[in-house]
Amino acid sequence: MELWTFDIPAQSPRDFPPLSTNHRSSSANGTLELSGVTFFIIQGLTNLDEKKIILFSILLLIYIMILGGNSIIIYVALTDPKLNSPLYFFLCNLSFVDMVYTTTTIPNMLSGLLTDILTISVLGCFLQMYFFIQLSVTGRAILTVMAYDRYVAICTPLQYNSIMTRPVRLLLVAGAWGFGAVCTLPATVIAFERPYCGPNVVKHAWCDPSSVRRLVCGDTSLDNIVSLSFAMVALLTTGILILSSYILIGVSISRMVVAQRLKAFRTCAAHLTVVSISYAAASFVYISYRVGNFSPEVRIIVSVLYSALTPFLNPMIYSLRNKELRESIRRTLGRFRPAAVLPTKEISTLS
C-alpha cells in the first residue's frame, strides 16, 4: 500500500510545456474561467541525466526477470499434474497478481526514462492508481489465504483435502480479489470526482495517490481520512490473520516430535520468508521516509524498487525452498532440451 508522500521541489515553468488543457479563458463579461485538466504530466526522474540509461537497464532487467520467473511458476502449476495441491493453486494466483502489479508501474517508468515528457490521460491515471493499490492489497490477501492453507495443512492434516476443496479454493481467491477492490474503490472514486484545475504535474514516477491528491483544487481532508482508513484496514486485517495463523502453527509444531517439526517447518518456510520480507521492507521504507534525509529522486527509486521487490523474489524463494516446485521446473525445462540437441544427434548419425 502507498502510505507515503514525497516532498519534491517544484520545477521551473520551462521544465514542462504549457498546460494547454488548463488555461484561463476570458468570458464575455471579462471574468476568467478555469477549464478542467484532461491529462497529467508524470514528472518522474527529471534530474538524473546520463544516469537514466543505467536505471533503465536495471529496471528492464528486473521487469524481465519478474515476468519470466512468475510465468514459469504459472506454467508448471497449470501443466504439471503432480502440482495439484491447493498450495500451487494459490501460488499460481499470487504469481499472476505479481506480474500484473508490476506491469501497472514499471513499463510506465521505463517509458518516462526514455522521454523528456511523459503524459497520461486523467482516466488512465486513475485506472493506474486503482489497479496499483488494488493489486497490492490483493497480493497481501492471497498471502493471507496461503497462511490459512498452511495452517490447515499442518494443524489438521487428516482433514486437509476435505476442507481445501476446489470450491473453497475458488471462494478464497475470489474473496482476496474482492477484499482488494473494497479497500481500493472508495478512495479512488472520491479522488476521481475531485476537481483538478491546475497544475497537472504529478511529482512521482506514476500516478501515486498522495502525489495526485496534491493537485486537487479544494479540501482533501476526506480523501486523506478515507485513504488512510482503508489502508489500515487492509494492512491490519491481513497482518493479524497471517500472524494468528502462524501462532496457531507454532503451537501445533511445539507438540510434535523433532522429525515432524522439521517437515512442518519446510512446509511453510517459503511462505514465511516471503511474508517476512514483504512486511519488513514495507516497514523499513515507511520509517526511512519519515526520518531519512533523501533526495526526491532517491525516494522515487526506492518506492519503485520496493514495489518490485516481492514479485522479483517470490519465484526464487519458492523455487529454492520448495522441492516439488524445483523438480517440476527441472522436468519442464528437460522437455525442451531433447528438441534442442536432436539436430546434433542426427548430424552425427548421418556422418
Give me the numbers of helices (H) and strands (E) for the chain, helices first please. 11, 5
Quick one: pLDDT at residue 170? 96
Helix axes 86-103, 122-155, angle to 10 degrees: 160
For residue 199, cis peptide bond before it (omega within 30 degrees of 0): yes
Mean of the per-residue pLDDT values of the chain: 81
What's the pLDDT tens digit per position in 249-298?
999 988 888 888 888 888 888 888 889 888 887 777 777 666 656 666 77
**Banded model confidence at residue 184, pLDDT cuts 50, 70, 90:** very high
When comparing pLDDT for 128 and 307, which is higher?
A: 128
Query: Residue 155: in which H helix or E strand, if any?
Result: helix 122-155
Domain 39-329 has CATH 1.20.1070.10: yes
Quick one: pLDDT at residue 3? 41
Residue 15 above 60 pLDDT?
Answer: no
| Cα–Cα distance for residue pair 87/169, rounded to 1 Å | 10
Q: Which of 217, 192, 198, 59 is nearest to 128 (CA)?
A: 192
Residue 343 above 60 pLDDT?
Answer: no
**Banded model confidence at residue 82, pLDDT cuts 50, 70, 90:** confident
| Cα–Cα distance for residue pair 297/275, rounded to 1 Å | 28
Q: Which of 54, 56, 68 is nearest to 107 (CA)?
A: 56
Query: Residue 17: in which H helix or E strand, if any?
Result: none
| Cα–Cα distance for residue pair 237/239, rounded to 1 Å | 6
